[in-house]
Structure 1
Amino acid sequence: MDLLRAIAANQGFEVDIKPLGFDAALAAVTAGQADGVIAGMSITDERKKVFDFSDPYYQSGVQMAVAKDSDITSYQDLKGQNVAVKTGTVGYDFAKQLGEEIGFTINAFQDSADMYNDVATGNSAATFEDAPVLQFGIASGNVPLKVVTDPEPGADYGFAVLKGHNAELLQMFNDGLKNAKDTGAYQQIIDRYLAIDDTAPVDNSFWTLVKTSIGPLSQGLVLTLLATALAILFAMILGIVFGILKLSTNPFLRFLASAYVNIFRGTPVLVQAFFFYFGVPAVTGQPLDALTAGVITLSLNAGAYITEIVRGGVQSVDPGQMEASRSLGLGWAPSMRRVVMPQAFKIMTPNLINQFIITLKDTSLLSVLGFAELTYQGRIVIASTFRSFEIWIVVGVMYFIVIWLLTVLSNWVDRKFNK
């Protein structure tokens, strides 16, 4: 990211960086949601079929690391063991081929921090990772592993764009990279991460970590609340409309409402998020930002559950209420609005509060789209500190406080208006 920012400053273009998992980053480029990817992506013949690459900006290789107290010293010692790798990487391909020869199984992860923790906790015996990433993590003091092999001869890293697209951006990257190397800026960036002074004092205390991370985590919390509020607003509209349609005497309208509910209750939220963020733009050619795709996903998903809540609430109202209203001369719509729905909402309130809380928690799934909510910001902090245990505690506490406050507020509203 530092290299890309330096190149952007030199070449005079702006860059908006979206830290995603490796697989999601490639999907974002192929779907047109991102212009390029720079994520330790090795230049291979297979990838050249889909992407155009820049000049190499770093030469790396796969390296093996184990827990500090491990007796494993070679690849042969991995026979019958579990090995942690990151999906979609050269390390994964290397481990898969080696595992077939030696006889070990693979545990695949999306993030380096999770992979390292799997080894540190003893669930995996070793990990294969790109050498610079692994060396930085160990040198920072936050990855309790040790390297036991030299890096394997590896491919070069390159900046990639979708094949046949963004040729101007690729040329600007190459020109900026050459300038960075000529001026020494490139080497300064490399030294910033890999030439770490072991004698320099490092404050790795928990409270220092909280102090440095609370800013981005708070920004993520604000976006979490924004996405939740928008999703709940649209979900309520959808839930009321389709809930009433499910009670219609028209079989087509009932079928339409049932199909909507079955589709969005019968598929995982994450699949729906990928569909709207990656799938729809790939078909329509019109990109969606992460907030829009996320709100659409959460609204449609929560709306399906609220549909059933509304249907059940309306059916729980004594049918005599509608009959009495109609006998007094009110039409069906005014009777629903003034007589049935107010009573139904009293019945629905506990279930609606529960659905609101579920929707707030489901915003964490939007982190895979690059939406900078609370979980996403937590992943960003972990990516630079590798201290996932402490950060997830802080993130969990923040979620708990917000949900507790939402519950208290909802219960107060329930008591105030549903006496």
Structure 2
Amino acid sequence: MLVAGLGTAMLTSPQAKAEGETYTVATDTTFAPFEFQDKQGKFVGIDMDLIRAIGADQGFNVDIKPLGFDAALQAVQANQVDGVIAGMSITDERKKVFDFSEPYFESGIQMAVLKSNDEIKSYADLRGKRVAVKNGTQGSDFANSIKDEYGFEVVSFADSSTMFDEVKTGNSVAVFEDYPVLLYGIAQGNGFKTVTPKEDPTGYGFAVNKGQNAELLQKFNTGLNNLKASGEYDKIVSSYLGEAATTDDNSFIGLIKSTFPMLMAGLKMTLILTVVSIFFALILGVIFGLFRVSRSIWLRAIGTTFVDIFRGTPLLVQAFFIYFGIPSTLGFQMSALTAGIITLSLNAGAYMTEIVRGGIQSVDKGQMEASRSLGIGYLPTMRRVILPQAIRTMIPSYINQFVITLKDTSILSVLGIAELTQSGRIIIAGNYKAFEMWLIVGIIYFVVIMALTKLSDRLERRMVK
């Protein structure tokens, strides 16, 4: 049933042409006030409210896919989604790759520093220092365009919250970001202040892949004009940038209470990814582990190649290749969950292969010889004699790989899967309480992993007896 469901997810087309159908729209995950998650786990913000209101006006539904900015753009190009709305500036360079709607928000770049910083008041004060930017943004482009003139270094990050934390740690002195993001963060008490006027005012646009989904683009433009005429547009913007954008209880206890449901949902997804992936990894490990100890040189070569590929490349690269590369090349859609399970299964399967090989080789060779001398075939001997003994040796290593795979699920946040780490990042995007939230997330990981470690130790002691 699970395999059938995953297969269906892989073959579902993202295109939605008929009136009233659902369009799949990618977005960023940590770009408040345009997109972030509220306490109920719902994605909100100017972009989110706007695309839903346009959908209601134009008679279509929206399936939001929170992927992160870089991954969202790749998903559109790979035809994994129909469009992207993520505070995306309309530039001539991006027009070569995407078709844009009419601008729905006029933004501009500003520089911000910590409130306590009275030294940095202009670009000239940045000489010899570092500034933080977010990958692929206008703030990044602007900072890099003036860095040689003013003699500062630029360091890039994947999301806005990490960029702000870079300055809080003292490693950088300033950030370059779109002014509404800075305005919202300051209103939430992130401890920053702006010190320069707005630069390079550009419009944000909804985007689709070049030459595709023209109907969706037209619906967006028509709906946007209708919302502006009715006053609904101004209402949406003011709810996030006006006085209504108030803060919640961000004390440590308050954070635990308000974020607990979202974090538990993230932990549930982490455990699902881990259990399903390690199940398939064990199957792969047994198959390729037997290949690795086979008498056939070809089977040994296949097993060795499998291990070398998935142990010799980073898990992040594997995730991007499976989620973006393969579907784009072969022309089909794959869900992030499917791609995540495949990635973890193959990666963990390579390590399980070596665990199985080591377990088999730990069994005395005389066991095989004795069984074969009794006329029992190779495979029956392996199944009835060797593997049962090898399993006793493999169990502690198997649980250890379970723990490693559980921690590796955090890497899948780049695909927009709302596991525990991604849930923490999304929460931080809305409240800017990085230290407190990462402490809470770390405690949850620690409790779960320590429980599994103790289980592994207990099993290992029983095996020794």
**TM-score by shorter chain over 0.5:** yes
Question: Paired residue for 2:262, among 201, 216, 221?
Answer: 216
Alignment check: 8 A CA contact 1:269 1:301 kept:
yes
Q: 1:258, 1:336 → 2: CA distance?
A: 20
- In the alignment, which residue of structure 2 is the partner of 1:253? 299
Q: 2:355, 2:241 → 1: CA distance?
A: 56
Where do residues 221-260 of structure 1 align in structure 2 (5 Å cutoff)? Answer: 221-260=267-306
CA deviation profile, 1:143-196 (whole Å, cap 9, x unmatched): 111101111131111000101111111111112211221222111111111112
Q: Which amino acid aligns with 2:104?
A: Y
- In the alignment, which residue of structure 1 is the partner of 2:193? 146
Task: Report the Cα offset of residue 350 of structure 1.
Answer: 2.0
* Structure that is richer in strand per residue: 2
Alignment check: 8 A CA contact 1:113 1:387 kept:
no
- In the alignment, which residue of structure 2 is the partner of 1:77? 125
CA deviation profile, 1:387-414 (whole Å, cap 9, x unmatched): 2221111111111222222233444555
Whether 1:335 and 2:381 are equivalent positions in the alignment is yes
- In the alignment, which residue of structure 2 is the partner of 1:33? 80
- In the alignment, which residue of structure 2 is the partner of 1:110? 158
Q: 1:30, 1:376 → 2: CA distance?
A: 23
Task: Report the Cα offset of residue 228 of structure 1.
Answer: 0.7
Q: Which amino acid aligns with 1:182?
A: A
Task: Report the Cα offset of residue 223 of structure 1.
Answer: 1.2
Task: Report the Cα offset of residue 40 of structure 1.
Answer: 1.0
Alignment check: 8 A CA contact 1:264 1:300 kept:
yes
Q: 2:110, 2:287 → 1: CA distance?
A: 57
Between the aligned residues of both structures, percent identity stands at: 60
Pairwise CA RMSD? 1.6
Alignment check: 8 A CA contact 1:53 1:160 kept:
yes
Q: 1:251, 1:383 → 2: CA distance?
A: 53
- In the alignment, which residue of structure 2 is the partner of 1:100? 148
Q: 1:43, 1:57 → 2: CA distance?
A: 10
CA deviation profile, 1:59-82 (whole Å, cap 9, x unmatched): 000000011111210011001110
Q: Which amino acid aligns with 2:138?
A: V
Alignment check: 8 A CA contact 1:84 1:115 kept:
yes
Alignment check: 8 A CA contact 2:67 2:417 kept:
no
Whether 1:349 and 2:398 are equivalent positions in the alignment is no
Alignment check: 8 A CA contact 1:261 1:304 kept:
yes
Q: 2:139, 2:303 → 1: CA distance?
A: 47
CA deviation profile, 1:304-354 (whole Å, cap 9, x unmatched): 111111111111110111112222332211211111111111112222111
Q: Give the alignment's TM-score, normalised by structure 1.
A: 0.96
Alignment check: 8 A CA contact 2:250 2:433 kept:
no
Question: Paired residue for 1:270, among 313, 316, 321?
Answer: 316
Q: How many residues align?
A: 417
CA deviation profile, 1:193-223 (whole Å, cap 9, x unmatched): 111269x785321211221111111111111
Q: Which amino acid aligns with 1:17?
A: I
Alignment check: 8 A CA contact 1:346 1:418 kept:
no
Structure 1 residues 308 and 371 mapped into 2: Cα distance closer, same or farther (>3 Å)?
A: same
Question: Paired residue for 2:168, among 120, 128, 132?
Answer: 120
Whether 1:205 and 2:233 are equivalent positions in the alignment is no
Q: 2:297, 2:375 → 1: CA distance?
A: 27
Q: 1:153, 1:294 → 2: CA distance?
A: 38
Task: Report the Cα offset of residue 19 of structure 1.
Answer: 2.2
Gaps of 5+ in 2: 1-47
Q: 1:86, 1:372 → 2: CA distance?
A: 21
Where do residues 1-16 of structure 1 align in structure 2 (5 Å cutoff)? Answer: 1-16=48-63
Alignment check: 8 A CA contact 2:289 2:353 kept:
yes
Question: Paired residue for 1:89, among 118, 123, 137?
Answer: 137
Gaps of 5+ in 1: none
Whether 1:399 and 2:445 are equivalent positions in the alignment is yes
Q: 1:286, 1:327 → 2: CA distance?
A: 52
Q: 1:201, 1:385 → 2: CA distance?
A: 8
- In the alignment, which residue of structure 1 is the partner of 2:9? none
Task: Report the Cα offset of residue 226 of structure 1.
Answer: 0.9
Q: 1:418, 1:275 → 2: CA distance?
A: 42
Q: Give the alignment's TM-score, normalised by structure 2.
A: 0.87
Task: Report the Cα offset of residue 10 of structure 1.
Answer: 2.0
Q: 1:108, 1:326 → 2: CA distance?
A: 62
Q: Which amino acid aligns with 1:140?
A: Q
Alignment check: 8 A CA contact 2:188 2:247 kept:
no
Where do residues 161-176 of structure 1 align in structure 2 (5 Å cutoff)? Answer: 161-176=208-223
Q: 1:301, 1:219 → 2: CA distance?
A: 24
Whether 1:375 and 2:421 are equivalent positions in the alignment is yes
Whether 1:50 and 2:97 are equivalent positions in the alignment is yes
CA deviation profile, 1:339-391 (whole Å, cap 9, x unmatched): 11111111122221111110111011111001121111112111111222211
- In the alignment, which residue of structure 2 is the partner of 1:361? 407
Q: 1:275, 1:145 → 2: CA distance?
A: 38
